[in-house]
Amino acid sequence: MAKNKEEKKEKVAQYDASSITVLEGLEPVRKRPGMYIGTTGPDGLHHLITEIFDNSRDEAMGGFCTDIEVALLPNNRVRVVDNGRGIPVDTHKSTKVSALETIMTTLHAGGKFGGEGYKVSGGLHGVGASVVNALSIYLEVVVHRDGGVFMQEYKQGKRKALVKKIGKSDLHGTLVTFEPDKEIFKEGVEFNFDRVVTHMRQQAYLVKGLRISVIDARALPEVDTADVFYLRELGLEVPSHTFYFEGGLLSLVKHYNEHFKSIHKSIFYVEKKVEGVESVEIALQYVDDISSRVMPFANNIHTPDGGTHVTGFKTALTRTLNSYARKNEYIKESEENFTGEDVLEGLTAVISVKLREIQFEGQTKAKLGSVEAQSAVATVFGEFFTAFLEENPDDARAMVSKVILALKARKAAKAAKDSVLRKGALEGMTLPGKLADCETKSAEEAEVFIVEGDSAGGSAKQGRDRRTQAILPLRGKVLNVERARLDKILAFAEIKALVIALGTGISDSFDVSRLRYHKVIIATDADVDGAHIRTLLLTLFFRYFRQLIDGGFIYIAQPPLYKVKRGKEFYYFYSDEEKNTFLKKEGIEVKDAEEEAEEGQETEEVEAPASPKATQGKPKSTKVSIQRYKGLGEMNPDELWETTMDPEHRVLKQVTVEDAQDADKVFDILMGEDVPARKSFIQSNATKATLDI
C-alpha cells in the first residue's frame, strides 16, 4: 500500500508548469490543422484557395478591386492575383516587422478587426493567410504599391528573409503563390480545376461588377511569373474561364433554374441596408419541381449549414404566404396553414447578408451565428415580398397554387408513409420476404447487398457470409424519384421493401441511428441496364437518404469483367486494360474489340505459349479460356464471393458528394424532364464515359 502511495505522489509531482507545452507562432496550425481548415483531405486542400481568394474578394467588396485571377500552376502550386490596394509593407508598430509579415505569420492579425480598413469582410477570424502560410511548403507574396514591387518568401509559415523591394511599378495589387505541404495533406495535393471554377463562378455572381478569371496552367512547363501580373496576358493556350455578372443574385437564380420551367414570370429581388446590417440581398423564383434549392451566403461566404439568416428568411416566407393566401381566400378558415415544408417545394432562393461584425459557428464558417441577421432578413424580406405579391397578382396566384399543391401532396405522402410504417408495426416490423437477412444484430458489422434480379440474388444468397451479409434482390428498374412525390414512391413495391429493410424511415420520420446496415452496397451488372439501375438507386439515396451518403454508408460493388483460366490457374480482371496487360505479359495474342464483337462469344479460347513445366523438351500448348461476365447472375456462388463479396479481396467504391449543388444540378439534368439539356449534357460528357458495347 505504501508503495502505491509513493507512486501516486510521484505522478502528481510530475504534473507542473514544465508539463505545459506552449505552441508559438503558427505551430498550433501545423499541430492541429483540422481546427483551422476542417480537414486535411480534399475539402481542406481546396479551402486554402478559398482563404487566399477571400482576401482579394474582400478588397472588391470594399470597392478597391475589380479583377482577380486564380491560376493552378505546375508542381501543385496556386497563384491568386488581385488589383486591390496591395498589402501594406511598412513596419508594424507592435510587431516591429512589416505589416505583410505580420499578416502572413500571426494568427488573428489583419485589417478587418476594426477601423475603416474593411466595412464588410468574410475573414474576420484573421487566420486566412497565416493558416495557408503555415500549411504550405512554399509561399511567396509579391505586392505592387506606392510605385514599387515588394516580395517575401516563406516555408511552413516561417520567413526566409525580410521583405525586400525588387523593382518599380505603376500597378497596385497583391500576388500570392503557394504550394501545400505534403506532410500535412497526406491524401494528396492535387487540385480539382472544376471544383475551383464552380466556386469562382458563384463568387462572381455574388459581387456585381467583379471579373474573376480561372486558369489551369498545370500542363505547361514551369511558368516564370516574376514579371507577369496576370497570366492571361501571356496568351496561354490552356483551360480557362472568366466570369463577370452585372445582375448579381438575379443572374444566379436564373443560372440555377435554367433547366426548369418557371411557374411565374418575375423573379423576386430585393437589396436593402438596415440598421446593424450593411446589406440584405435576396432573390427567389418558384419552378415546376418538388425539390428546393436555398443558397445562403454571409459576407459572400457560402454557409451550407444555414444559420440565422436562413431562419429569418424561412419564417418570413411562411408567414407572408400564409397571410396573403388567407387575405385573398385561397385558404379557408377551417383549413390549416402552410408549413415551412410546403412553401419550400420548388423554390430556388439565394440569401446574402453582409455584416460589419460577423459571427460564424466554427472556423470553417459553415453556419452563421450573428443574431441581428435573423431579424434584419425577416423584416426586409417580409416587407418587400408582401409588396411584390400585392403588385404582381398573377405571379402571386401561381406561387400560392404551387404551395397549395405541395400541401395536398404532403398530406397524401404522410398518409402513405404512415401506412408503410403502420403496416410494419402491425407485422412486428416484418422485413420484406425477398430480403435474406444476416444473423448479426450489430449494424456496425452488418452489410446489405442490393442486387439486380433473382438470378444474381440466388448466387449472392448462396455465396455470402450469412453472419454479416444480407441480400436484397430487386426485380426490374426502380422508380425514377426525381419528380415523384412520396406517396407514389412508397406505392412502388421495390422501394417500399428497401425502406423497410434499411430501417431508417423516410422523409420527416428519417432517423439515421436506426440504420440496420452500416454498409449499403449497390451491386448491379456491368452493362447499360445495370448502370441505369445504379443511377436510379443513387437518385433515390441522394433525394431521400442524403444522410446515408454524407455518413459514408453507401457503396458500389466492383464485380470483375473477365475470368481468365489457364490450366488449373485462373485470374479475375476488372477492366479491359487489366486483362490485356496480363495477356500481353504472358505472350498471348490479344484480339481487338471488333474481332471479339464479330465472334459474339462470351467465352473464347486462345492458344498460349507452352507451359515452362513441360517435360523432356516436348512443349505442350495450353488453352487459355477468357470468360466475359455480363451479369452477377452468370457467376456461381463461389466466384461471386471471392471477387465481389469477400471483404478480404473485394473492391468497393464509397459514394460521396463533394459539391451538393453541382450534384443536385446533374441529377436534375439527367433524371428530370428537360430533354434538350440532358442531350447536351450527354454530348458534352460522352468522351468521359466507359461504354459497354
Q: Return the pLDDT at 185.
A: 93
| Same-domain check for residues 139 and 196 | yes
Residue 91 forms part of a structural domain: yes
Q: Give a three-class secondary structure readout of 41-88.
A: CHHHHHHHHHHHHHHHHHHHHCCCCCEEEEEEEHHHEEEEEECCCCCC
User: Are 405 and 449 in the same domain?
Assistant: no
Show Cβ contacts of residue 500 under 8 Å, excluding neighbours closer than 6 positions: 420, 424, 429, 431, 432
| Residue 585 located in a structural domain | no
Q: Looking at the structure, do residues 258 and 289 belong to the same domain, yes or no? A: yes
Quick check: is 425 in a domain?
A: no
Q: Which residue, 58, 42, 166, 168, is CA-closest to 103?
A: 58
- Does residue 283 sit in the same domain as residue 403? yes
Domain that holds residue 653: 433-559+631-657
Task: For residue 14, tell me if it sits in a domain.
Answer: no
Distances in Å between the Cα of 545 and the Cα atoms of 443, 483, 512 are 17, 16, 9
Note whether 193 and 53 are same-domain residues. yes
Kindly state whether residues 441 and 464 are assigned to the same domain. yes
In a domain, 578, yes or no: no
CATH of the domain at 38: 3.30.565.10
Same domain assignment for residues 285 and 360: yes
* Segment 443-474, tens digit of pLDDT: 999 999 999 888 888 989 999 999 999 999 98
In a domain, 420, yes or no: no
Q: Is residue 327 part of a domain?
A: yes
Q: Are residues 231 and 322 in the same domain?
A: no
Structural domain count of the chain: 4
User: Where in the sequence numbering do the catalytic residues fall?
Assistant: 452, 525, 527, 529
How do residues 382-403 score in pLDDT, each as one tens digit? 999 999 999 999 999 999 999 9
Do residues 392 and 458 share a domain?
A: no
What local confidence, expressed as pLDDT, does residue 181 receive? 94
Q: Is residue 595 part of a domain?
A: no
Strands 173-180 and 77-82: antiparallel
CATH number of the domain to which 259 belongs: 3.30.230.10
Do both 327 and 210 map to the same domain? no
Residues 113 and 219 in one domain: yes
Distance of alpha carbon 263 from alpha carbon 346, whole angstroms = 9
- Quick one: pLDDT at residue 644? 92
For residues 490-505, average pLDDT? 88
pLDDT category at 263 given cuts 50, 70, 90 is very high
CATH code for the domain of 532 = 3.40.50.670
Kindly report the pTM of this predicted structure: 0.65
Specify whether 150 is located in the same domain as 218: yes
Rounded CA-CA distance 669/661 in Å is: 12
**CA-based nearest residue to 324, from 341, 347, 343:** 343
Average pLDDT of the residues of the chain: 82
